[in-house]
Chain A
């Protein structure tokens, strides 16, 4: 694993991106910031990881939904589990009595290929999205890919900005968790605990926030950022 990353980082010249990353890079174009927020296309993202440590933890699942014309098409979502390479087999047997024999999910590079093909040039939305993006970029770098070029917007920051436009970061973060905000904006949180489920809730939250910004006269990406 670390060896792979090492090899990628030093052993391969920068130009030899993985095919999926090359495709992504070629087609990426930044959004027009003067277009109305409600007409832009967004990808709302969430990941499940083995933990919060950027160095040692890994992504387990990637979940994403798309917002187009203020709608979320159910047939156009990304829900993908990554095959885990490191297995603490003995621990697993002793704790759960299970033996990990078959490998489920897709290899990380396939998941990344799916992910980069999915996001296209859409603006990426997520709750505390910074961490998810870093995890994906870390994995991407390990597998011959690069960083995410898309514009990234954090819904927790948007909610804070709505409440205190002058100094959003002064607000207490615990009032801006996904759970608290869903409750506040009447979003039914039924099946949390999956990346896709959370991405869907975040998408609803984002649509509601956009409407509230529009009411305040903030109607374009330029005004929002």
Chain B
């Protein structure tokens, strides 16, 4: 995750408004990957590069109108999100993020995992490794997590990246993805459950 202090950001915005190319390159280095992930999550791989380029052009042309009501990062993500949604409309594909999402089969919340009274059918499996740092050092697990992250439904992936990796507020995520707070929470929860299952499997079998 990349962060900038508010003073740094203020200076950076002033430089961008003055047309400083170096400042623009710096912002690209900071946020291009994240924007690409959001575009991919909303509109898919095929259009993502083009959408992000369009977004940068829009940023270049409109930076003087940036009113600083949000952070630069949130503004950039809103632009790329709007471009991605516009592209979906243009390509006559689904527009609603919620329509793009679905409950994974065999999820933890699957009714089959619970008795009639709502208690667990079976014990929750134990994890041999419980330290996040130790888990991060497991290369095979990293591979499994990255693979799963790329298989998540687009809305879940976008909400999860923004919330749990980028640590954006729920309020900002609602604005970027144009979904309700309740839906963002559901999307993030589903993604966490899926990743928990990946870790479950890894702890049990040592593979995805």
Q: Are both chains from one complex?
A: no
Which residues on B are within 8 Å of A, measured CB to CB?
none
